[in-house]
Structure 1
Amino acid sequence: MSPATTDTTARPGRRSPGRAAGGAPRPGSALFLTLLAVCSAVTAANIYLAAPLLSLMARDFGSTPSAVAWIASVAQFGYAVGLLLFAPLGDTVNRRRLVTALTVVTSLALAAGAAAPGAGALAGAVFVASAATVVPQLLVPLVAERAPAERRARHVAAVIAGLFTGIVAARVLGGLAGQSFGWRWVFAGAALLTLALGLATALVLPTGRRSRSGPLSGGLTALPGLLRRSPDLWRASVRQAGMFGAWSALWTSLALLLTGPAHGLSTATAGLFGLFGLAASAVAPLAGGLVDRFGAARVVRGAYLLAAVSVPLFWWGGHVVQALFVAAVAIHAALVASHVANQTLALTSTSGPAAANTAYVVSGFAGGATASALAGTAFAHFGWSGVCAVAGLWLALGWGSTAAPRGRR
């Protein structure tokens, strides 16, 4: 071991163990992982920025909350499209340039959304912003590549913890800021924050690129073949699609329940429910350690059981608001644990981690977007019970369709 790695005293001509040349955080260091986690939190929040603001948007556009609920689904479909187009490039292109370009596009789209004159224009801006805000899914494969095998899940979990913190914080801070300043200022603030954190992260990323072609070099049509050739990737993708679909159905519709006649809460108060989910983000490091020790399958099984318990609690929460407190923590803990386990499995299932990650995350968000869209329709026709039914169905599909022994695949 070189003296530079054993001596932590700052001396002329020597680098701190956590920093590379020029003072930038060294890839794999705690400082580097922290910056990537914060960037993931800020960018991931953009996908769910509209969910807690639906009531305010509807009032501004002279409509009803249920009539604009589809904008939340547009964001998820946009993210899935962005994953198909941009995430596979992480195997072949300079990540620093790609993150810079996507950051600028995301910020411009959010600014356009802040000035949108109607729901259609806002939906278009949200779609573009969500398609470009795939930066976390370029960072996670990078972390997985550079982490030691015995700590890979823990390193991946650190970035995932940031990602889910951003998702939940979007509801809390978005609801509070929207109530105080209006939803347009929330979009404008998100544009500035995304630009600052995205560019800061791009500066510390390694400049090199992988010279070989990735598994998706044949185009997007290679995705089904990639899933078919890797049973582990297929299983991880389908199970996370079921889990994420259940979460999306419940979480994107929750603001409609809380601000509706059943509970009559304000947008800001409804947004505070995100704090219960934020507490569950602490599960990520624990899940990473359990995956490294016991394997992904056991962690996912436990996560599905926890999610199955949360669905009847959410249904009960339609009548008793206190039940939603427990349900929110349970569904977030299940989602985070499942994601850490499934994504770690997906990233190690093929020789191209960025391509495998694309197949995995696209499957998850396609399941989430579809369930979210169905939940909006179910809420309009059957109320909160319909939303809970969609969530339960997605969990059953995600687990049941992967329950066959591996040999039968």
Structure 2
Amino acid sequence: MPTPTKSPSPAAAPTATTPATAVRSAPPAAPARGGNTVLLAVIALCTAVTAANIYLAAPLLGLIARDFGAAPSAAGWIASVAQLGYAIGLLAFAPLGDTADRRRLVAVLSAVAGAALVAAALAPGLPALAAAVLVACAATVVPQLLVPLVAERAPADRRGRHVAAVVAGLFTGIVAARVLGSLAGQAYGWRAVFFGAAALTVAIGLLTAVMLPAETRPRRAAQPLKAIAGLPGLLRASAELRAACLRQAGLFGAWSSLWTTLALLLTADEPFHMSTATAGLFGLFGLVSTVVAPVSGSLIDRFGSNRVVIASYVLTAASLPLFWLGGHRLWALCTAAVLIHAGLMAGQVANQTRALASTGTPAAANTAYVVTAFVGGASASALAGPAYAHWGWNGVCAIAAAAVAVGWVGSALVGAKR
């Protein structure tokens, strides 16, 4: 992680005491810059395609409910199942990036996700669809296997930019799932969207697996349960990792609480009364993330991650009063959407770069980081729905403000360096 006092690259950093967690790429020498650029582009594309699967069902819930003759509320839990599947996959597979052959793991997970997406497209009812979505999203953890690899192989003075490129791909995939998924579903039906996602997932996943560098590790069986059991100890041992986890949980919690309930505000009779399709176009504000990511990476490489994290919190905090005002003013809502996406992306790149360099087991550290951020986002989202029902948009803004405060204060309490 680039900081004002630069740390050595992961390749040179001390590794865990057991040889099973050592990460060494073969050949040891870095490939030519042209090869790095092509590989980085393919990894970013793979990240976008696979991350989109987590949010694929969300914009299609109305079409799914209509097809199965169910109420929209009855299909709403499919989106929650997708997030549950992703959480399961993070715990089960992401820590294996430190010990398993990532090429084989990426290929297998891509094939499993593709098969599950096909099963989802052919599902005869909601229970079968939910089961297929659960499996597909559990296998959609490929991005979290690739981010540590990129951080390991990047030169120390460009690590932030390389991580930013992959993170930008992830957020681009989320935007594409919400915007393009809804448009394609309206034109061709929700089943066609799942078929298309299956084809893309398998194609880009296998291409990525073929292009990944060969890795040499001591032969041993993968032990996911042991890897999961080691996560609490990893967090206890590293204040830097704990700080990165808590700060990103706060940022993601604020974003999730506001973004998951925004459609309710926009489609309500007062004050905006937008159609579902028009409200869905608000997802395009997520493209701000794609622009901010490379800028954040460059700033991290130049000034260190701490300053970028502080800037991300300033941007997010500045968006909150605008979101509150946006309950009645559309211009304020649009401005706030730009600021919170910029803050979320800057924090994501900085905190993830920090987490990856905090230990000698980057895949395990990345798992702890992503799971913590996911829990923060899911918890805030769960609270935002009831808050909107009882107190309206003001209640949602209060949840977002609380998430920001908890993230920042919590990270300070665990002994993080400011």
TM-score w.r.t. the length of structure 2 is 0.85
CA 1:72–1:310 in 2, change beyond 3 Å: closer, same or farther? farther
CA–CA distance in 1 between the matches of 2:264 and 2:118? 25
* Aligned amino acid, residue 173 of structure 1: L
Q: Deviations over 1:242-293 (max 9, x none)?
A: 1112212222333333344343433332222122211332111110111112
Structure 2: distance between partners of 1:361 and 1:89: 14
Structure 2: gaps of 5 or more residues:
1-26
- Say if 1:63 and 1:339 are closer, same or farther in 2 by CA, change over 3 A: same
The aligned residue for residue 397 of structure 2 is: 388
Residue of structure 2 in register with 1:253 after alignment: 261
Give the structure 1 partner of residue 371 of structure 2: 362
Deviations 1:349-389 (A, max 9, x none): 00111111111111111222222233233344444333333
d(CA) in 1 for partners of 2:71 and 2:392? 15
State the identity as a percent: 65
Shift of the alpha carbon at 1:332?
1.2
Equivalent residue, structure 1, for 2:342: 333
Superposed CA RMSD: 2.6
The residue type equivalent to 2:304 in the other structure is G
Q: Which residue of structure 1 lines up, in the alignment, with residue 7 of structure 2?
A: none
Find the counterpart in structure 2 of residue 81 from structure 1.
88
Query: Who is 2:248 aligned against?
Result: 240
Q: What residue number does 1:155 align with?
A: 162
Specify every segment of 5 or more residues in structure 1 that has no aligned partner in the other structure, as ranges. Answer: 1-19
By how many angstroms is 1:25 displaced?
A: 9.3
Question: Given the superposition, is the C-alpha separation of residues 321 and 144 from structure 1 closer, same or farther in structure 2, using an over 3 Å criterion?
Answer: same
The residue aligned with 1:193 is 200
1:50 aligned partner, one-letter code? A
- 2:325 is aligned to 316
Most deviating of 256-265 and 293-302: 256-265
**Distance of aligned partners of 1:130 and 1:407 in 2 relative to their CA distance in 1, 3 Å threshold:** closer
CA contact (8 A) 1:76 1:366 kept: no
Q: Distance in 1 between matches of 2:35 and 2:256?
A: 32
Tell me the distance in 2 between the aligned counterparts of 1:314 and 1:126. 32
Residue type at the aligned position of 1:388: C
C-alpha deviation, 1:345, in angstroms = 0.5
1:301 aligns with 2:319: no
User: Does the C-alpha gap of structure 1 residues 255 and 28 become closer, same or farther in structure 2, counting only changes over 3 Å?
Assistant: farther
CA contact (8 A) 2:383 2:399 kept: yes
3-state SS of paired residue (1:349): coil
- Matches of 2:333 and 2:268 in 1, distance apart? 15
Task: Quote the Cα distance in structure 2 between the aligned partners of 1:196 and 1:71.
Answer: 25
Q: Alpha carbons of 1:327 and 1:334: their partners in 2 closer, same or farther (altered >3 Å)? A: same
Q: Deviations over 1:105-156 (max 9, x none)?
A: 1112222222334443333322221111011111111111111111111111
Distance 1:166 1:237 in 2: 22
The answer to whether residue 217 in structure 2 is matched with residue 210 in structure 1 is yes
> 372-381 vs 231-240, which deviates more?
372-381
**1:96 counterpart = 2:103:** yes
> How far 1:45 moved relative to its partner?
1.0
- The 5 Å alignment of 1:1-400 reads 29-211=36-218, 218-262=226-270, 263-400=272-409
Residue 11 of structure 1: aligned partner: none
Give the residue type in structure 1 aligned to 2:116: A
Aligned amino acid, residue 139 of structure 1: L
Q: Separation in 2 of the partners of 1:320 and 1:62? A: 37
Distance 2:176 2:55 in 1: 9
Number of aligned positions between the proteins: 386
- Distance 1:88-1:405 versus aligned 2 partners, 3 A rule: closer
Deviation of the 1:159 alpha carbon: 0.9
Letter in 1 for 2:274: L
CA apart distance, 1:316: 3.1
Contact 1:157–1:285 under 8 Å retained in 2: yes
Change (3 A) 1:230 1:216: farther
Do the aligned partners of residues 349 and 53 (structure 1) sit closer, same or farther apart at CA in structure 2, a change above 3 Å counting? same
The one-letter amino acid paired with 2:132 is A
